[in-house]
Structure 1
Amino acid sequence: MIYGIGTDIVYIPRILRISQKYGEKFLNKVYTKKEIEISKKYNSQEVRAKYFAKRFAAKEAFVKALGTGFSQGIIMKDIEIYSNIRGKPHLAITKDFISKDYKIHLSLSDDQDYATAFVVICVE
């Protein structure tokens, strides 16, 4: 049974501008150490911005699906986006603000200047 659905869209140049202006301060506030470390494999700032924009959208989409937004003590860094060996995106949470009986489905996409994420939370 579906518990919640969330979607978000992010303007990639906005993430690029913010990361250029605030640098590590912005990245450390929003992304986990693992997400930041993985991003270093991309040499281009534009490609890194696309990587971060998709993860930003995923975090926003997740809290929308959860129905809480960023409240009740949930912060961006509590949510980590990673890919399996085949490239399928997954979402991990670092705090117990969702029951273990839920399955989280995540889809990420980008085209030109926009990144999108779609999250479905199901009760198992």
Structure 2
Amino acid sequence: MPRVLVGIGTDIVYLPRFTTLLNKYAIREGSLYRVTPRFDKITNKFMHPKERNQLDLKLAKGQFKEEEIVNFIGGVWATKEAVLKAMHCYIPYNQIPPAQTIYTNLFFKENTTNGVPRITFDDGFASRSAQCYAFNQKYIENKAEALLSISHDKDYLVAFVSLMDKKS
């Protein structure tokens, strides 16, 4: 049975903005980074804990170039924005939880073992509150699938999200 497209969203980011964030709020010590409380505060406003753990590993291992870390942060941000825009295509505005709740609790961006980016809805989202439970039951659980494409070139990264209705 064919799936139905219910929403699309896209976001483009200027990667030097995230380079500035990294250089200003994460202290480089050789090949490693030590984050400051301000860096934590900023990234915790838009990253799911799983994304934050991935970032912390990248920063602590010292195996990743600055460009890879910046692409990761920019990719997470662009994905969050694109998903929210896609949701606005089919969910009434007054029924969508606050953006920060969507960004940090509803889903996370990850890569498959082949490196393909994907969006995974967090199974624990519904248990956060009665409002989250109702939203999850009505619009997400067994109903929505988000498809993600990310592309980057030099100073820019773009994320494109297709929100599909799984019921179709």
Same fold at TM > 0.5: yes
- Name the CA distance, whole Å, in 1 between partners of 2:97 and 2:51: 23
Where do residues 1-124 of structure 1 align in structure 2 (5 Å cutoff)?
1-21=4-24, 22-39=38-55, 40=58, 42-67=63-88, 68=93, 72-75=97-100, 76-78=103-105, 79-94=107-122, 95-96=125-126, 97=135, 98-99=139-140, 100-124=142-166
**Length-normalised TM-score, structure 2:** 0.64
Q: Is the 8 A contact 2:145 2:164 kept in 1?
A: yes
Quote the Cα distance in structure 2 between the aligned partners of 1:72 and 1:101: 17
- Distance in 2 of aligned mates of 1:36 and 1:46: 17
Q: TM-score, normalised by structure 1?
A: 0.84
Distance 1:93 1:73 in 2: 16
Give 1:30 shift: 1.8
Deviates more, 1:26-35 or 1:47-56: 26-35
Q: How many residues align?
A: 122
SS of 1:16 mapped into structure 2: helix
Q: Secondary structure at the residue paired with 1:72?
A: coil
Structure number, greater radius of gyration? 2
C-alpha RMSD of the superposition: 1.9
Contact 1:19 1:26 in 2 (8 A): no
Percent identity, please: 30
| Contact 1:6-1:118 within 8 A present in 2 as well | yes
**Counterparts of 2:65 and 2:42, CA distance in 1:** 18
